[in-house]
Structure 1
């Protein structure tokens, strides 16, 4: 599920069975960067354009955030969430895609929090005991309280924001928007897992998080029968999304224009990315049906080809751009 480089009864069972194995396999690589610590300045208008890296205080300690300021100093912001294998040095959107270039001339600030591997951007109930984690994740608090507090000192609105994420970050984006409607006007899921109560999903996520940093999923939402799982399942909380501008995308899992394996490792990663995306499509289609029964509108993008990998998410971010800018009035 993090994400990386090039990554319905019999068929569905086969996909779900395959997912438990596929979810544990890394398909990612990245580049390193250096954080720039910054105390919140006493400004109340966002800088006009430009890039900055800041260190924002939180209950988890200082969190690095990569920021591209709105071109004309507007107050709108778009939060971009990473995947399961989020790195501690840079947000994947900043180096795996051309997100900065896509929105360089738009009046919206791009906000890319760094870190949160296997976190689902949630407030955990405890620290993970399997890997000796010394802090308890409180990402929902950071993204809806501490980070907005900092951004407000830089002229960014507390109420005119969007959030979009991929894979793990896709379901997290919908969760954050559902429970913080005063903050977010737009939410987008790209290849997200939007029906995590479906058969096999909880087991698959448990295995995936053990592989991605040896995280104990019970420390996140509690054991599988806990209410925390239902709170964080988009399929369950779907009614809370009514009236929100929504964008949901997932591809078929069939190799497409950005898949060109030539070596064994390429074929290995591509096959994993195919399985992951096929599972995401099953989840996203189920979510679509759920939303239709509720009469809740959303924009859906289900390309006939594409795998669980960054070039396709970059494309979807660009496709979602007009809707995002409209929702935030940020042209």
Structure 2
């Protein structure tokens, strides 16, 4: 094969923001991108939380991610949609809300989307991935199972141990509340191997050698909660209490395995201002892992 034959169809655009429509087994999926400032091939995938809207990524509206990476030679990739999906491949459509199409988010994020972006010059192999809340565990498990694609993985306030006793009930309640999704249609009963496959703690050994950053607040409200309102702050504090436990379990597991993951505990709750702060901390790690510093 000649060099010309191996070249991408397009060169990555140098800078700029765009909404793409990407074909998938789920139908057309919107993906927002901020192209690498100098047309580089590396990319950072950013995953939303449980309430992921269907018209934009909350990373683009609730954080300054676009500004933070505006001068960097890394394309930011923001998949749109997938609320209550846990960014995984489901067994079947949810049986409790009339869903017509089976969620196939792992397939999309690790096969269909990289293939599509490759036509724009984005590498299939020099990528990083980070997620918040629902997306945090997905970021780590996707990286664990697709080491050829990702060179860095991060979780902000993620629920990293879904097989932990009774946590499936908390997930069930949250998914019913957010869109009336049925947990059983995702991974089946808790005895099903899909649960362990999608558990970052269980899959920690697969992360050996990969730079990993996990961070969570301690559930104590701080200055960044000032605009949330009392009700939202109380709720965000309670949710973050679960994330602290999960991060602690993940830390203990990686220490026991001798895997040098970085795990930070900070003051704060389960809300976007803290995740913006976490992205600021993570940015140098991401650029180093992608060879862009």
Higher relative contact order (CA 8 A, sep 6+): 1
Task: Give the aligned partner of residue 269 of structure 2.
Answer: 307
SS in 2 for 1:236: coil
Task: Give the aligned partner of residue 266 of structure 1.
Answer: 229
Counterparts of 1:29-178 in structure 2 under 5 Å? 43-178=9-144
Q: How far off its partner does 1:224 sit? A: 1.7
Task: Give the aligned partner of residue 202 of structure 1.
Answer: 168
Q: How far off its partner does 1:295 sit? A: 0.4
Q: How far off its partner does 1:259 sit? A: 1.3
TM-score, normalised relative to structure 2: 0.96
Task: Give the aligned partner of residue 290 of structure 1.
Answer: 253
TM-score, normalised relative to structure 1: 0.85
Q: How far off its partner does 1:198 sit? A: 1.5
Task: Give the aligned partner of residue 188 of structure 1.
Answer: 154
Residues of 2 paired with 1:92 and 1:259: CA distance? 17
Q: Deviations over 1:18-45 (max 9, x none)?
A: xxxxxxxxxxxxxxxxxxxxxxxx7332
Instruction: Please point out which of 274, 277, 281 is paired with 1:319.
Output: 281
Is it true that 1:275 corresponds to 2:238 in the alignment? Answer: yes
Unaligned runs of 5+ in 1: 1-41
Is it true that 1:330 corresponds to 2:292 in the alignment? Answer: yes
Q: Tell me if structure 1 keeps the 8 A contact 2:219–2:236.
A: yes
Residues of 1 paired with 2:9 and 2:38: CA distance? 15
Q: Tell me if structure 1 keeps the 8 A contact 2:247–2:263.
A: no
Number of equivalenced pairs = 286
After superposition, the CA RMSD in angstroms is 1.0
Unaligned runs of 5+ in 2: 1-7
Q: How far off its partner does 1:199 sit? A: 2.1
Runs of 4+ aligned structure 1 residues displaced above 3 Å come to none
Q: Deviations over 1:107-159 (max 9, x none)?
A: 10000000001001001010001000000000000000000011000000000
Residues of 2 paired with 1:259 and 1:183: CA distance? 36
Residues of 1 paired with 2:173 and 2:91: CA distance? 19
Residues of 2 paired with 1:131 and 1:330: CA distance? 44
SS in 1 for 2:203: helix
